[in-house]
Structure 1
Amino acid sequence: MFDSHAFFKQRFAAHLKETSRYLRYIFNGHIAFAMFFFVSAAAYYYQQWLTNLPEDFPTAWIVGITFGLLVSYSPVRTLLKEPDLVFLIAAENKMGSYFRDALIYSFVIQLYIILLAGAMFGPLYFASYPDRTGNVYLLTLLIVLIFKSGNLIANWWMLKIREPGTRQVDQAVRVLLNVAVFYFIVAGEMLWAGVTTVLFTLVFLYDLNVSRKQPGILWDLLVEKDQNRMQTFYRIANMFTDVPHLKNRVKGRHWLVALVSRVPFANRYTFDYLYRISFVRSGDYLGMYIRLIVIGGLFIYFVPNIWMKLLFALLFLYMSVFQMMTLYHHHRTVMWLDLYPVHAGVRRQSLLKLLLQLTFIQTVIFAVLFLVMQEWIGMLAVIIGGTAFNFLFIQGYVKKKLMA
């Protein structure tokens, strides 16, 4: 007899083994060092900033919007795969235990975000409302968990509806209500918090009523949602190690391709062209590069100490090189590259050249940011120090890593 609870445990064990293998590569020594540096520096300056917190600081809006978005984003991880569309449909009426376990698993793995947000906003909450006790904040976090479970169940019900527009409207309404509820709770407007909670309950019951009218489970939609989330995880893991399960996404970006693909027509520039095109069109390389520049720029702008600014500039240069060096293995499954009449050393040199160019652009952007802030010493230091760091790190560590 088919036991869906036992089947979920088997599927969960396989999923845990699969993800833990890549998590070991993601949270390696390099990332651990960067995370420790970020957390330590952020905690120090966060505490310093709270000592001079303005009285009119919009704490209620910031905490309310954050908690509202966190409880609204409650995806259901079913761990379903494509073959299940054939082999499990016949057992749909026996899958109740499986989907119950999937909902519990989805709730548990999303708790860490709530706990991190609660720990992060705790000092801000007490600095803004010193007259409130810790029990009040703990009660707020408990309400967050209740709304999190409610949104998770509502999302599961809405996954029985085929029309994406209906699901999007329902999601938008719940986002607005979630944000309103937590804004009023943090602001101390308990009457309005109660009113918006009643409205959320009505939407919740409406979702239940709509889901009961649906004929069955949309297996293809559940598989598609779960595969999309796994592909997102694989794309992140692919920045640290080879992921054979990754389905590479290719984007047009024709105007950007025309801009970066101007290289001389000669054998030694073959991989210059390939890596430039791959950087622009494949995966998330360009997006990651831009995000690191933006986040690094924000740290440089808001951190008050000039030496910490320089350290953050070097740290984000280091992270950019570390992330972009995976381009070397991006085409590992394409056997046609082995037929190119180009020496392997030319391939390595082309990637090293691209990394130097990308980090030089990033260094110039950081230097311009120092110039805007009128930090003349910082501008000179980031140009000289950043250029030296880029050259030594790329020609030293990265070159040896590619030759290994």
Structure 2
Amino acid sequence: MSDFFQTRLARHQKRMMRYMRYVFNDHFVLVCLFLVGGVGFYYSNLLKTLPENFSIGGGIVALVWLVSLYIGNFVTLAEPADMVFLLPKEQEMGAYFKRSFVYSCLFPFFLLVLICGFLMPLLVISAGFQFGEFVWFLLMLWSLKYSQLHVQRYGIYQVSQSNKRMSQLIWLGMAAIILFISVYTFSWLGAILGLLQAVVFTMYLKRLSVGLDWEEMINKEQNRLHRLYQFINLFTDVPEITATVKRRKYLDGFLNRIPLQHKQTYLYLYARRMIRGSEFSGLYLRLVAIGSLFLYFLDSLWFSVGLGVVFIYLIGFQLIPLYNQFHYMVLTQLYPVPTSQKGQAVQSLIGFLLLAAALIFGLFAAIGLKNLQETGISLGSYLVVAFVFTKLYIPMRIKKMVD
């Protein structure tokens, strides 16, 4: 069964690598570098302004670490057919889960290294720790995540829902106590308590695990993959995920404003797809909400301008695939409408959406900056980028897609 998991893992990784080249394209990497640099610069300046006895800094770090421990799930790579074909092999699934558990640890352990390293300067300034104590904090976080993955593994066995919830609550309480003890006392003490907790949870939960709940295991794995595909779907089409369509009658007023004319055929179709499909509308609303939230808390003009410009670019870039939404519909190919109308329609629709996003960003930037002149510069920058993106970048991008 160990080799069987390795075969499935190789197939899964091959599929993911095919998608990752679309996710980590040049534009996304450039935006990520800009965001990382900007956040690092802002974080560095923030640390310089903190008072000497910033006692709540340790509590903030502990809470962030507690939330970060929920990143990463127990990976089983289970498929619906396993309920039938692997049921006779249930007694041999121990070797399968050993390999899957090791694989489940890789991503969260790596991410915890980054998060722990990112927050160490705050601990050094607020709690007086040394950078060398990073090793103890990291060992503690790894131990807590290790036990949390065992709690998730316990959830795929035939145990009552009350026992599952109880194990999760007990782990949460112990993890919170250990984290706060470590940041307010000694780092090595937190590491020791974390290791003890991991040993106790591992031994106790293994003893209680009796009989696999195949349906629960498959549902959890399918939900995990669905969330992963939803993220990938922001960058490229994913056959494994299907978008849902909602009526949204309250938005019919926007569609009614489009003239029912021959030259507006594709604009109406794209606008209808945007409003009633959850794929692009959800993407647009999420990016606008996240960008607005960031701008609300920023009081630096150039950082506010840079971040707003990045989000406007991201919104426009992610909406360009609208162009191919009706590419495989036979009826649209029978329309007596020139193909050039598609590009013009997409350009008009994205231009309107970017204009709306720029105005919303300008409003939240005004709240954060609290200065009329700086607000005008920010809003003007957003509008210029939206105009340039719509008039220059979109036609160039569509031409590449057609060629």
Instruction: Name the structure 1 match of 2:153.
Output: 156
Letter in 2 for 1:34: V
Q: Distance in 2 between matches of 1:318 and 1:68?
A: 33
Q: Tell me how far 1:74 sits from its aligned partner.
A: 4.5
**Which of 282, 300, 305 lines up with 1:305 in the alignment?**
300
Matches within 5 A, 1:29-40: 29-40=26-37
Letter in 2 for 1:297: S
Matches within 5 A, 1:145-294: 145-161=142-158, 167-168=164-165, 170-188=167-185, 207-212=205-210, 216-251=211-246, 253-255=248-250, 257-262=251-256, 263-294=258-289
The reply to whether residue 43 of structure 1 matches residue 43 of structure 2 is: no
Q: Secondary structure of the equivalent of 1:76?
A: coil
Letter in 1 for 2:361: F
Deviation sequence 1:213-240 (CA, Å, 0-9, x none): xxx2222322222222222222222222
Residues 196 and 113 of structure 1: is their aligned pair in 2 closer, same or farther, counting only changes over 3 Å?
closer
**Which of 122, 134, 138 lines up with 1:137 in the alignment?**
134
Letter in 1 for 2:292: G
Q: Secondary structure of the equivalent of 1:51?
A: helix
The reply to whether residue 5 of structure 1 matches residue 35 of structure 2 is: no
Q: Distance in 2 between matches of 1:361 and 1:152?
A: 43
Q: Tell me how far 1:77 sits from its aligned partner.
A: 0.8
Letter in 1 for 2:17: S
Letter in 2 for 1:119: G
Q: Secondary structure of the equivalent of 2:49?
A: coil
Q: Tell me how far 1:211 sits from its aligned partner.
A: 2.2
Q: Tell me how far 1:398 sits from its aligned partner.
A: 1.5
TM-score with structure 1 setting the length: 0.86
The reply to whether residue 15 of structure 1 matches residue 12 of structure 2 is: yes
Does the 8 Å CA contact 1:157/1:208 hold for their aligned counterparts?
A: yes
Q: Tell me how far 1:253 sits from its aligned partner.
A: 4.3
Residues 72 and 364 of structure 1: is their aligned pair in 2 closer, same or farther, counting only changes over 3 Å?
closer
Residues 251 and 70 of structure 1: is their aligned pair in 2 closer, same or farther, counting only changes over 3 Å?
farther
Q: Tell me how far 1:61 sits from its aligned partner.
A: 2.2
- The aligned length equals 396
Q: Secondary structure of the equivalent of 2:76?
A: coil
Q: Distance in 1 between matches of 2:263 and 2:208?
A: 62
Residues 185 and 242 of structure 1: is their aligned pair in 2 closer, same or farther, counting only changes over 3 Å?
same
Residues 173 and 333 of structure 1: is their aligned pair in 2 closer, same or farther, counting only changes over 3 Å?
farther
Does the 8 Å CA contact 2:58/2:184 hold for their aligned counterparts?
A: yes
TM-score with structure 2 setting the length: 0.87
**Which of 373, 376, 381 lines up with 1:380 in the alignment?**
376
Residues 105 and 204 of structure 1: is their aligned pair in 2 closer, same or farther, counting only changes over 3 Å?
closer
Q: Distance in 2 between matches of 1:163 and 1:339?
A: 57
Instruction: Name the structure 1 match of 2:50.
Output: 53
Does the 8 Å CA contact 1:45/1:303 hold for their aligned counterparts?
A: no
Instruction: Name the structure 2 match of 1:69.
Output: 67
Does the 8 Å CA contact 1:367/1:382 hold for their aligned counterparts?
A: yes
Q: Distance in 2 between matches of 1:235 and 1:148?
A: 24
Residues 351 and 49 of structure 1: is their aligned pair in 2 closer, same or farther, counting only changes over 3 Å?
same
Does the 8 Å CA contact 1:118/1:141 hold for their aligned counterparts?
A: yes
Does the 8 Å CA contact 1:303/1:309 hold for their aligned counterparts?
A: yes
Q: Secondary structure of the equivalent of 1:288?
A: helix
Letter in 2 for 1:122: M
Q: Secondary structure of the equivalent of 2:397?
A: helix
Q: Secondary structure of the equivalent of 1:95?
A: helix
Q: Distance in 2 between matches of 1:164 and 1:260?
A: 46
Deviation sequence 1:357-404 (CA, Å, 0-9, x none): 111111111222343333323333333332232222222222222233
Q: Distance in 2 between matches of 1:261 and 1:374?
A: 36
Residues 105 and 252 of structure 1: is their aligned pair in 2 closer, same or farther, counting only changes over 3 Å?
farther
Q: Secondary structure of the equivalent of 2:245?
A: coil
Q: CA RMSD in A?
A: 3.0
Point out where structure 2 has 5 or more consecutive residues left out of the alignment: none
Deviation sequence 1:270-289 (CA, Å, 0-9, x none): 43333334334434433332
Deviation sequence 1:93-150 (CA, Å, 0-9, x none): 22221111011100112222211211110111111122x3334332121011111111
Instruction: Name the structure 1 match of 2:310.
Output: 315
Letter in 2 for 1:86: V
Q: Distance in 1 between matches of 2:314 and 2:160?
A: 41
The reply to whether residue 328 of structure 1 matches residue 323 of structure 2 is: yes
Residues 237 and 74 of structure 1: is their aligned pair in 2 closer, same or farther, counting only changes over 3 Å?
closer
Q: Tell me how far 1:305 sits from its aligned partner.
A: 3.4
Q: Distance in 2 between matches of 1:113 and 1:281?
A: 36
**Which of 386, 392, 395 lines up with 1:396 in the alignment?**
392
Q: Tell me how far 1:187 sits from its aligned partner.
A: 1.8
Does the 8 Å CA contact 1:8/1:98 hold for their aligned counterparts?
A: yes
